[in-house]
Structure 1
Amino acid sequence: MTPLAIATLALALSIDAFVAALGRGAQSARPGLVAALSTGAVFGAIEALTPLLGWVVGLAAAQFVTAIDHWIAFLLLALVGTRMVLHALAPSRPAPTAGGLVLTAVGSSIDAFAVGISLAVLGAPILIVALAVGTATLVMATLGTLAGASLGRRFGHIAEVLGGLALIALGTAILLDHTILA
């Protein structure tokens, strides 16, 4: 994977956390930096672990799917991207409570698990990807929490749609690279 592909993937996977953090920030008129960093750290740690777990699962199955790995990557990324777009277009849900932070972080990182599976079959550098995803999510969730009070209700859905479309584009690029452009 190129550095640009890794950066695009990290940004796309951090969008769910950004949107959830916007919601958390919208609950508070002025979220403090410590609260925002704590939220970012929880989201970032979980988002970094889930592609690693997916990668382990995908690696175990890699020997059976190498001939169709590009189709698997395309389908998983397209499904996750489509889910993100559909979620963004659905009616809004209430922002998570403090007790639901970890559950929200896990829920928003399911897509990273699916991506981890596809990265295993592609032989991607998972530690670099996981670090990039975790770092991007830490930053995005922290910024989302801080910006939530003023931006969350207006722009959160647009960011999630763009993240979903980026995942679909990445999956399409992988498919084209292994089929038409090969």
Structure 2
Amino acid sequence: MSFLEILLLAVGLSMDSLAVSVTSGAVMKECSVRRVVKIAFVLAFFQAMFTLVGYLLGFSFLKLIETIDHWIAFGLLLYLGGRMIWESRQEKEEDKKMNPLCLKTLCGLGIATSIDALAVGVSLAIMQTSLSVITWTIGIVTFLFSSFGVCFGVKVGNKVDLKLDLIGGVILIGIGVKILIEHLWGF
């Protein structure tokens, strides 16, 4: 994978975290460095760690599936991207009583937004890509996007309806199609 592809993958995965951080900022109504770093760090930590866990799980059964690995990677990314697009079209009720600074709530949000990273990690193992650069890139990009999201949420609140899940879903599907084309036609 090229660094541009890794960066696009990280951006796609971070869209759920960005959406959660914007909502968290809107709920908090005020922004401090401590609050921003706390939310962004937890979301980035779960994204990076779930990618790592998915990779390790995928790598453990790689020999069993290497003849169909590109189809599995494509299928997982298509499913995840499709699900993100589907969810972007659904009406969401936001709980204004949520406390995004509560560690239990924040960990729950981190886990919920990182399930996609687990499946992507499996795909990365199947593709036999280097893990360290990808994991760090996903963590850093998620941290930056989430930091921006909290500040943006505080400033703009619920005045703007961004379709971040839609953008992330399209990116993940695009990467899946690229993987399939590379393996089937050798590009």
* TM-score (normalizing by structure 2): 0.92
Judged with a 3 Å threshold, the aligned counterparts in structure 2 of structure 1 residues 79 and 153 are, in CA distance, closer, same or farther, namely farther
What's the CA shift for 1:36? 1.0
**Equivalent-residue separation in structure 2 for 1:8 and 1:152 (angstroms):** 27
User: Aligned partner of 2:182: which letter?
Assistant: D
Tell whether 2:180 aligns with 1:175: yes
**Which piece of structure 1 moves more, 26-35 or 147-156?**
147-156
Number of paired residues? 181
Partner of 2:106: 101
Contact 2:7 2:137 in 1 (8 A): yes
Task: Report matched runs for 1:11-160 at 5 Å.
Answer: 11-95=11-95, 96-98=98-100, 99=102, 100-149=105-154, 150=156, 152=158, 154-156=160-162, 158-160=163-165
User: Aligned partner of 1:67: which letter?
Assistant: T
Q: Which runs of 5+ in 1 are unaligned?
A: none
Runs of 4+ aligned structure 1 residues displaced above 4 Å come to none
What's the CA shift for 1:153? 5.1
Q: What's the RMSD between the two structures over aligned residues?
A: 1.4
Contact 2:23 2:157 in 1 (8 A): no
**Equivalent-residue separation in structure 1 for 2:94 and 2:161 (angstroms):** 16
Contact 1:43 1:105 in 2 (8 A): yes
* TM-score (normalizing by structure 1): 0.94
Per-residue Cα deviation, 1:11-61 (whole angstroms, up to 9, x for no partner): 110010000001101112222222011100000111110010000110011
Which has the larger helix fraction?
Answer: 1
Instruction: Classify the secondary structure of the residue corresponding to 2:66.
Output: helix
Contact 1:70 1:174 in 2 (8 A): yes
**Equivalent-residue separation in structure 2 for 1:152 and 1:143 (angstroms):** 15
**Equivalent-residue separation in structure 1 for 2:115 and 2:86 (angstroms):** 15
**Which piece of structure 1 moves more, 97-106 or 54-63?**
97-106
Per-residue Cα deviation, 1:102-125 (whole angstroms, up to 9, x for no partner): 101101000000000010010011
